[in-house]
Structure 1
Amino acid sequence: MNCSLNWPEPVVRVQSLSESGICSIPECFIKPLSDRPSRNTVTTTTTNISETHVNIPVIDLQNLFSNDQRLCDETLRLVSDACREWGFFQIENHGVSHELMKSARETWRQFFGLPLDLKQEYSNSPSTYEGYGSRLGVEKGAILDWSDYFFLHYMPLSLRNEVKWPAVPPSCRKVIAEYGDETVKLCGRLMKILSINLGLGEEYLQNAFGGSESIGACLRVNFYPKCPQPDLTLGLSPHSDPGGFTLLLPDEDVSGLQVLKCNEWVTVKPVPNAFIVNIGDQIQVLSNAIYKSVEHRVIVNAVKDRVSLALFYNPKSDLLIQPAEQLVTEDRPALYSPMTFDEYRLYIRTKGPRGKAQVESLKCPR
């Protein structure tokens, strides 16, 4: 991957800025006026959306294991509708231990609460992004997001390097391994659901991704420090996720994720013990845009820090991804040109979050 080996400017840890007691944020974090959250969205949602109390769909997966086929089919339909209409949904009764979810969040809170010099031992570079970071993209002079993060590879096994995982707190590596195992299994089950709903056969998408042993799974733990001017910046700029799909464990105490729906930003209200699932660009390509990735962003809070864990489930990096033949017809020709995920994510790693510019650039000329 031909990324720069160094960041273009000295890295500033956002958490350190927040804890320094500043009253105004540095200019490099101030978004253009058109990109700033409104004052209403900093605490709830945009005015129009908040009046109707809209939230992304919440789906109970329990009935997928029911002996009643009607209940199973209804759950499949709900997932299909959510993928087509929202690109985002929350799942309950998903099979991952609630205690493990809680432990994962708490362990990473402890990591970000460590002294800066201990965290700096895991500092990352743009060559792999693996480790402790504070910016996405390598363009000099870019407007930055108000967040720090820790990024690591979990799958395939050839990329997993536990030495790069935090050794403190002492439970961290054990929790990462347990959480990674359980969430990757859940993602495999979700792939079957998406594949069945697209009429492709339950193993199609997994095979298109390279098979269960070859898929890519990466964990990014996001830390959004409290911000003295949350109406001027964002924790994460608008973007669609470049991979297959994302399994997000949100902060249940502080909302921040916003999803673009009908040109309005909807603030997601996390359901206790639920995961948030969103379609990524690679599923959009494979489904020939039957399922679409959706722009989302993160707002920050004036009084509380926020942590979330995003598990990215991706295709094998050197496989060509293109629309499934079964979903290409005379009436609906292939919308996208083939591209490997390695080629695709280079755009994101170079330029940082840019709405849906990358997936739109793949469209075949008509």
Structure 2
Amino acid sequence: MMSCQAWPEPVVRVQSLAESGLSSIPSRYIRPHSQRPSNTTSLAPHKPSQADYDHDHGHNHDHDHDHINIPVVDFEHLFSEDYILREEVFRRVDEACQEWGFFQVVNHGVSHELMKSARELWREFFNQPLEVKEEYANSPTTYEGYGSRLGVHKGATLDWSDYFFLHYMPPSLRNQAKWPTFPPSLRKVIAEYSEGVVKLGGRVLNVMSTNLGLKEDFLLNAFGGESELGACLRVNFYPKCPQPDLTLGLSPHSDPGGMTILLPDDFVSGLQVRKGDEWITVKPVPNAFIINIGDQIQVLSNAIYKSVEHRVIVNSNQDRVSLAMFYNPRSDLLIEPAKELVTKEKPALYSPMTYDEYRLYIRLNGPCGKAQVESLASQT
């Protein structure tokens, strides 16, 4: 499927660059003026507190930068016998999906210890000597393994990050030989963590389907069902950077897949979400996952729910680690707006396309805003 077998130029590990003690970053990482994070320097690393959680949990905020945050939804009452409590969970998810395309979820059923050990073990992996990590070096044909760039265009501006990418679902794509053997418990934790997060994804899809007025299992089935859906994990490592105001850890993009379930760094903020013309820095709530809508749910919902651009900023005094689980349709299924959501007044906005065809564009070009999903809207 991929025409590109190898990276177009030697791959540089950003972590090694950062650790070499350089005081200015190579030009390959410097973004054009218009794309630089304007107020990065004033964004001190933020350690979330219970007060943040209480604050974000029940109040509408003034729209100033220090207080605004993406919605937080408590899943505690998702299966409650109490209709009113349960409906409130559904309503909050629906509102977040329509207004933000992003929300944080607490009481989600994944063990906090498991979340913590997944993050710590991956941090330990990235702190291994380079030759240990290079054994897992990836290529553009699969992306699976240890990597430092996404697009394959020669001379592209690069992001200030390294990553590790692996397939978890469907089980036929799971290749444990490509999962790191160090730290020794990492493989076991990857499997347990991935299983828990994929289950959570199924619950979230049920809520979204119901909110869209579809059968509860509509989205899950559109993705291929429980045993055939696609799920892959990308662990992001954002090294500290001597000139954080000139670069980005991850370029602005909307996620090409179905939905993303992110375990953010619990000490350092970095994720920014686009809201109108502003970039809002997400303050992670303790033990929460950040969930966002990808392009495939935008297509399936006929743009009732939209994927939203986001990016990652870096800072000069702390590394960041985050774990993104991409929850995707099986790659060969046609994705198109749900028939129930297409009417004379609101015709289908997108033509049918498989996730594989969709993804090829991004593999060649790297992350590029929302250019892709917008270019697909049927020209009617």
> Which of 213, 216, 219 is 1:202 aligned to?
216
- 1:140 deviates by 0.3
- Aligned AA for 2:81? N
Structure 1 Cα separation of the partners of residues 8 and 66 of structure 2? 44
Can you give the 5+ residue segments of structure 2 that lack an aligned partner in the other structure?
Answer: 46-61
Aligned residue in 2 for 1:21:
21
- 1:40 deviates by 4.4
Q: Structure 2 vs 1, CA of residues 26 and 52 (structure 1 numbering), >3 Å: closer, same or farther?
A: closer
Alignment of 1:1-366 (within 5 A): 1-40=1-40, 43=43, 50-51=64-65, 53-366=67-380
Q: Give the SS at the match of 1:218.
A: strand
Q: Percent identity?
A: 71
- Aligned AA for 1:278? N
- 1:24 deviates by 0.2
Asked if the contact 1:88/1:279 (under 8 Å) is kept, the reply is yes
- Aligned AA for 1:164? K
TM-score normalised by structure 2 residue count: 0.94
Structure 1 Cα separation of the partners of residues 137 and 239 of structure 2? 18
- Aligned AA for 1:255? S
Q: Which moved more, 1:34-43 or 1:246-255?
A: 34-43
Q: Give the SS at the match of 1:65.
A: coil
Structure 2 Cα separation of the partners of residues 239 and 20 of structure 1? 29
Asked if the contact 1:137/1:348 (under 8 Å) is kept, the reply is yes
- 1:3 deviates by 3.8
- 1:42 deviates by 5.6
Q: RMSD of aligned C-alpha atoms?
A: 1.3
Q: Deviations over 1:85-123 (max 9, x none)?
A: 000000000000000000000000000000000000000
Asked if the contact 1:3/1:126 (under 8 Å) is kept, the reply is no
Can you give the 5+ residue segments of structure 1 that lack an aligned partner in the other structure?
Answer: none
Asked if the contact 2:242/2:316 (under 8 Å) is kept, the reply is yes
- Aligned AA for 2:219? L
Q: Deviations over 1:138-175 (max 9, x none)?
A: 00000000000000000001100000000011011001
Q: Give the SS at the match of 1:25.
A: coil
Structure 2 Cα separation of the partners of residues 198 and 44 of structure 1? 39
Asked if the contact 1:44/1:50 (under 8 Å) is kept, the reply is no
Structure 2 Cα separation of the partners of residues 241 and 357 of structure 1? 12
Q: Which moved more, 1:32-41 or 1:210-219?
A: 32-41
- Aligned AA for 2:36? R
Q: Structure 2 vs 1, CA of residues 324 and 9 (structure 1 numbering), >3 Å: closer, same or farther?
A: same
Asked if the contact 2:168/2:231 (under 8 Å) is kept, the reply is yes
Q: Give the SS at the match of 2:192.
A: helix
- Aligned AA for 2:18? S
Q: Give the SS at the match of 2:9.
A: coil
Asked if the contact 2:256/2:359 (under 8 Å) is kept, the reply is yes
- 1:204 deviates by 0.6
TM-score normalised by structure 1 residue count: 0.98
Asked if the contact 2:40/2:313 (under 8 Å) is kept, the reply is no
- 1:64 deviates by 1.0
Structure 2 Cα separation of the partners of residues 11 and 168 of structure 1? 23
Asked if the contact 1:3/1:349 (under 8 Å) is kept, the reply is no
- 1:39 deviates by 3.2
- 1:253 deviates by 0.2
Q: Deviations over 1:248-268 (max 9, x none)?
A: 000010000000001100000
